[in-house]
Structure 1
Amino acid sequence: MLSEMIKEEFIQLELEVTDWEEAIRKSAEPLLIGGKITSEYIEKIIETTQKIGPYIVITKNVALPHAPTQYGALDLAMGITTLKTPVKSGNKTNDPVKYLFCMSAKDSETHLESMAELVNLLSDQTFYHVLDTAKKPMDILDYIIESE
């Protein structure tokens, strides 16, 4: 379940960043500190984005920073970051990015159920309201748990 991937300390609210690269680094930081990814994983996300474009931008205002498991995904986890000021990623259709869901999966299957739950949340306008108005990380995590 999605709530099992997300810990309170992986949720960051209203971060200030200057560009998409800093947004990726900051969104991945809690997973790095939590031992879920390596610094190589973060560098691979940025390198891949520079090479092929904003593949991580999955819908309007939403990015899902991730890289192949062999580049330092140590455990199943997801962080949620909201930005105070949205950033441009280069994805003309879905820019600017305001919400980042940094994900780590140690294989290609264990995260699939959680991803389906995330897709459902991303089609729920109330979820965006929760992301925008949360005063503390548990406000978001509580909503996710209630939605499961």
Structure 2
Amino acid sequence: MLREFVEKKHYLFAEEAADWEEAVAMSCRSLEADGTVDAGYAGEIIACVRKYGPYIVIMPNIAMPHSQEGAAGVRKTAVAFMKLEKPVSFDPADPEKDARLFFTLASCDPEQHLNNMKRLSEILMNEELVAELDQAVCPEDLLRLQEKYLD
């Protein structure tokens, strides 16, 4: 999966985001760039987080921005990766809701989406890999970690 991020250019390494809304929008840019989602998809995710709270922060330091399956503006099923150097806070009262690693989901094919979720869970269950992703600074780091942990 890490190799796919590089091959499809579904990644972004950035210093920081002004706030969580900007972080979500930034995490969607690589998916927008190739037409996987349209420009409104980030707004849908942001609206859902405003309505339901920071459900996209699935564990400390890791966010999984997504809207509902088949959301408007989703044209392909894919996952994108983003890493911020400075964490963004989704809930100032709860530091466990800060995130630096973003895995942004777009889904219009349930079977492919389930496969993506399975592969993503393999990454997230590997604490060493997650720790090294937190230190990644470029696409070459993603390729190196793919070879080290997933090939």
Match of 2:98 among 96, 99, 112: 96
Aligned equivalent of 2:115 = 113
Q: Distance in 2 between matches of 1:73 and 1:60?
A: 27
Structure 2 CA distance for partners of 1:72 and 1:81, relative to 1, 3 Å? same
Aligned equivalent of 1:128 = 130
The two structures, once aligned, show a CA RMSD in angstroms of 2.1
Map 1:1-148 onto structure 2 (within 5 A).
Answer: 2=1, 6-8=5-7, 9-68=9-68, 69-90=70-91, 92=94, 94-144=96-146, 146-148=149-151
Q: Distance in 1 between matches of 2:104 and 2:24?
A: 8
Structure having greater relative contact order (Cα 8 Å, sep ≥ 6)? 1
Question: C-alpha offsets along residues 33-79 of structure 1, whole Å, 9 cap, x if unaligned?
Answer: 11100122111000111111112111121111111223111112111
Q: Distance in 2 between matches of 1:4 and 1:11?
A: 10
Question: C-alpha offsets along residues 19-45 of structure 1, whole Å, 9 cap, x if unaligned?
Answer: 100100001011101110012211100
Contact conserved, 1:6 with 1:78, CA < 8 A, in 2?
yes
Q: Distance in 1 between matches of 2:117 and 2:146?
A: 13
Contact conserved, 1:36 with 1:75, CA < 8 A, in 2?
yes
Gaps of 5+ in 2: none
TM-score w.r.t. length of structure 1:
0.86
Q: Distance in 2 between matches of 1:38 and 1:142?
A: 31
Gaps of 5+ in 1: none
Q: Distance in 2 between matches of 1:143 and 1:95?
A: 25
Q: Distance in 2 between matches of 1:34 and 1:6?
A: 12
How many percent identity over aligned positions?
29
